[in-house]
Amino acid sequence: MHQTIISCAVTGSAPTPEKNSAVPVTPSEIVKSAIDAAKAGAAIVHCHVRDPETKRPSMSVEFYQEVTEGIRCSGIDVIINLTTGPGARFSPSVDDPRIASHDSKMCSPSERVKHVVELRPEICSLDVVTMNRKRHVFLNHPEHLKYMSASIQSVGVKPELEVFDTGHILNAINLIKDGLIQPPPFFQFCLGVDYGAPATVESIIMMKSMLPRDAVWSAFGVSRFQFPMVAASVLLGGHVRVGLEDNIYMEQSVLAPSNAALVEKAARIIHDLGGSVASVEKARELLSL
């Protein structure tokens, strides 16, 4: 069995603080939760930020800076992975589909990577995806992806290529062929999300079969599929992601008390299957950071 990297998605952008009070909101809460997850075995912490007043998703560089510096100054060695996902939500207005509705959130590609360029984490997510969601379209224009990829590469940050279905992998491969993604590419299979690939073993096998030979890959399932996908990914040779961004429960009807608890459960699954959890140093080696 290989050594498995555990990523922890600390807070996300869904309005889950109302559903589970363990979801961190303020920069200091996010820092503490990320540090605790690292102590529990996470080699990577994937961070969004929220407005402390409204608890809603934010794109504030100031909040990202507080989180990044807080983790870096903690004395805990962990790989920081900042999101670039916000700013790509489109819903057409009722009267004119050419005009965005009031709940759309579209930003320029430069705005979406500004915090990455300034703060230079080791990794940042890159959603190589356009797809329907329940109330909006997650919209990532090809030219925007090229701009973001080039900007990320120019500051020496490695993109985590988030793919929600098979066609997204082909899109990412084009970015690799264009020289916008440095080898080895790092793919994250996002499974069980509305209208994306289902959280099944078959999805992982299919998506894995499409990857470049040198690719490193990880997978996660949302909600009740989180831990089944941990087991499936480990057995199929991949890495794993857990965290309160994707799932707020330890088991049916039992809310997770923390991100660290989810990481600890993932680590137990990995050990029970005969594997071992990769250290931060090993994760850097596997990802060529």
d(CA 34, CA 40): 10
Q: What is the pLDDT of residue 223?
A: 96
CATH of the domain at 112: 3.20.20.70
Residue by residue, pLDDT tens for the chain (289 residues) are 789 999 999 999 988 999 999 999 999 999 999 999 999 999 999 999 999 999 999 999 999 999 999 999 999 999 999 999 999 999 999 999 999 999 899 999 999 999 999 999 999 999 999 999 988 999 999 999 999 999 999 999 999 999 999 999 999 999 999 999 999 999 999 999 999 999 999 999 999 999 999 999 999 999 999 999 999 999 999 999 999 999 999 999 999 999 999 999 999 999 999 999 999 999 999 999 9
273: left (phi over 0), alpha (psi -120 to 50) or beta: alpha
Q: How many angstroms separate the CA atoms of 71 and 122, rounded?
A: 13
> For residues 139 and 26, what is the distance between their CA atoms, to the nearest angstrom?
27
Burial letters for 122-142: b for 16+ Cβ neighbours within 10 Å, e otherwise?
bbbbbbbbbbeeeebebbbee
Give the sign of the dihedral formed by CA 278, CA 282, CA 287, CA 289: positive
Within 10 A of 21 (CB to CB), how many other CB atoms are there?
Answer: 12
pTM, to two decimals? 0.97
Our count of domains for the chain comes to 1
pLDDT in the model for residue 15: 83
Structural domain of 270: 3-287
Question: What pLDDT does 221 receive?
Answer: 98
Angle at 212 between CA 207 and CA 213, to 5 degrees: 110
